Amino acid sequence: VVECARTWDFMDPSERQYRPIPLETREEAGVRLQFWVIDGKVKGFRFPAFSAEELAKRQQQVGRKFADAQESRELGNVDMRVEHMDKTGIDVQVLHNTMFIESATSRAAVEVALCKSWNRWLADIWKQGEGRLRWSCMAPTLSMPDALDQIRWCKENGACAVLMRPVEGQRLLADPYFYPIYDEAQKLDMAIAIHIANGNPWLTDLYDHPVRIASTFHRFRIPTVGAFNDIIMSEIHEVFPKLRFGFIEASAQ
């Protein structure tokens, strides 16, 4: 799912000071580059905004349809998404975030506010979709008590997984710091969904090299492979024998 202005309408009044501000600029060929300003800094991840003509051109180049309506991508019209699922023979979709595949903030209070609003947005979508649009919970890992509270709330509101990035700040996923999350997910029968991502700003900047089309392989996919290796080589499967892991959008489908 692609975040939009409505994503942040679910913030508590006391947390609205942390509401992300959309920023847009233009590049060559009419492509609009989009960003989020979070806590005074350009943070998070947003896809470039292509015109309908540019999307059609790219669709022809790669032989895959992705020129869907914006209100379907952003779930502004849930019925439209469900109708498209019916046409393509899909019973249930599991929705994952876009913005958080890069670090959104280094401040716990900001991360808690962002994750709470995002989770409430997805819960609202799940209710409108009458159970056909499941989703992965965003846990604010900078504050473990809040992360566990969010996981429990999300389980009750349609989430089937807890989303984790291969690199979470200065920590890798085999770090015992995350064991409370794994324990809670196991108790609630929720999977850990490891989406292609990189939550370490230094690594993200390092791999943002001139060959832009290739940089995402280093920034997002290689850390995902590393996370897979770390988990299968660690004690996690012994400590949490019933915990399930899924590796999402890593080009291995």
The whole-angstrom separation of Cα 191 and Cα 163 is 9
Q: Under a CB-based contact definition with an 8 Å cutoff, are residues 74 and 2 in contact? A: yes
User: Given this model, what pLDDT does residue 52 score?
Assistant: 64
State pTM to two decimals: 0.89
**How does pLDDT run across 139-180, given as a tens digit for each residue?**
999 999 999 999 999 999 999 999 999 999 999 999 999 999
User: Given this model, what pLDDT does residue 50 score?
Assistant: 55
Q: What percent of the chain has pLDDT over 70?
A: 86
**How does pLDDT run across 186-234, given as a tens digit for each residue?**
999 999 999 999 999 998 888 877 777 778 888 899 999 999 999 999 9
- Greatest pairwise CA separation for the chain in angstroms: 53
Q: What is the three-class DSSP state of 201? A: helix
The whole-angstrom separation of Cα 142 and Cα 18 is 16
Residue the block writes with tokens 């952003």:
74
User: Given this model, what pLDDT does residue 23 score?
Assistant: 85
Side chain identity at residue 175, one-letter code = D
Side chain identity at residue 116, one-letter code = K
Element spanning 93, H or E: strand 93-95
User: Given this model, what pLDDT does residue 217 score?
Assistant: 86
> What's the CATH number of domain 5-248, 3.30.43.10, 3.40.50.970, 3.20.20.140, 3.40.50.1100?
3.20.20.140
**How does pLDDT run across 2-59, given as a tens digit for each residue?**
899 999 999 999 999 999 998 877 665 556 778 899 999 988 666 655 556 666 776 7
Extents of the domains making up the chain:
5-248
